Amino acid sequence: MASTVALKRRITSIKNTRQITKAMELVSASKLRRAQEYAQRSRAYRELAYDLLSRLSAIKEVETHQLFKKRPVKTRLYILTTSNSGLAGAYNANVLKQLTQLLNVDKAQNVDSKVIAVGNKGAQFVRRLAGVELVAVYPGLGDQPTANDIRPILNSIIEHYTNGDADEVQLLYTFSKSSITQEVRTVALLPATKVDDGTTATVSASTFEPDVETVIAQTTTRLLEAQIWQGVIEGLASEHAMRMVAMKNATDNANELIDDYTLEFNTARQAAITQELAEITGGAEALNG
């Protein structure tokens, strides 16, 4: 049994840790509420972007547009969204597991893999992988990223695709269904194509003004930007949700440890008191004898 001094130190240390985890839980809960509202407000815009992209892909004129051109996939580029810090439960592990599975498929198909990491944790993971090129890292997007934050990522994607450095671009992010349910999703960004929703879009060229070519040129990049932006903010909401749950679990575990060590401390202290009483009693009897 550990000494009472050692047990007291352990209890104090765990209490200090509990204060930290409880504070992080409260901060994450506050950030989660704002992030969920932020993501919820823009989901309708994301769905509209999907719908417009489907309509554009049904037009014959898009076949000549560089972002709609399909070619044999020799190099695939992944946009990986992770956190900048840890202590977020399985948030990073889940999306990195999905990336690993996709990379294994690429390797089996002799497809080269490249990654643009949004978040330091993803960049740290990719740097350790052999045969995977880390193209760029974007760590500082904040809790409410703007279009200006997303645009460098978009420009890098378009540049790689139009230059032929990547034949396909996919976005990996975590979708927050609820505070306790998260889902890793993979979205194909390029070549820009119709979203497979079970419907067929047919659009006449006369629907667009001033002309189809202008609409395609000016709107396709904005629609791609909307998809990337939504993926990033959905990931932020998921990160805060999983960190809140992880910190709550850590706080609960700390409470259990404190109870266990307190019981052990009281038992050790009682044993020490009993031993002292026995020694005093024995000494008194020896003097009387």
Instruction: Annotate 177-243 with DSSP letters as a single string.
Output: SSSS-EEEEEEEEES-----SS------GGGSSS-HHHHHHHHHHHHHHHHHHHHHHHHHHHHHHHH
Q: Looking at the domain assignment, is residue 190 inside a domain?
A: yes
Q: Looking at the domain assignment, is residue 265 inside a domain?
A: no
Residue 88 has pLDDT above 50, yes or no: yes
Residue 203 has pLDDT above 50, yes or no: no
- Catalogue the long-range contacts made by 37-44 (C-beta closer than 8 Å, 24 or more residues apart): 38/144, 38/233, 38/236, 38/237, 39/176, 39/230, 39/233, 39/234, 39/236, 39/237, 42/229, 42/230, 42/233, 43/230
Residue 236 has pLDDT above 50, yes or no: yes
**Domains in the chain, number:** 1
Q: Which tokens belong to 79?
A: 């946009």
- Catalogue the long-range contacts made by 19-25 (C-beta closer than 8 Å, 24 or more residues apart): 21/247, 21/250, 21/251, 21/254, 22/247, 22/251, 24/87, 24/243, 24/247, 25/244, 25/247, 25/248, 25/251
Q: Looking at the domain assignment, is residue 110 inside a domain?
A: yes
Domain hosting 118: range is: 23-245
Q: What is the CATH number of the domain that holds 85?
A: 3.40.1380.10
133 alpha-carbon distance from chain centroid: 20
> First CA to last CA across the chain, in angstroms?
35
Residue 288 has pLDDT above 50, yes or no: yes
Q: Looking at the domain assignment, is residue 274 inside a domain?
A: no
Q: Looking at the domain assignment, is residue 4 inside a domain?
A: no
- Rounded distance, CA 7 to CA 210, Å? 77
Residue 62 has pLDDT above 80, yes or no: no
Which backbone phi and psi does 76 adopt, to 5 degrees? -115, 135
The pLDDT tens digits of the residues spanning 125-173 come to: 999 998 899 999 998 777 778 888 888 899 999 889 888 899 999 999 9
Q: Looking at the domain assignment, is residue 78 inside a domain?
A: yes
Strand partners, 187: 171
Residue 253: count other Cβ atoms within 10 Å of its Cβ: 14
pTM of the predicted protein model = 0.80
Q: Looking at the domain assignment, is residue 168 inside a domain?
A: yes
Q: Looking at the domain assignment, is residue 262 inside a domain?
A: no
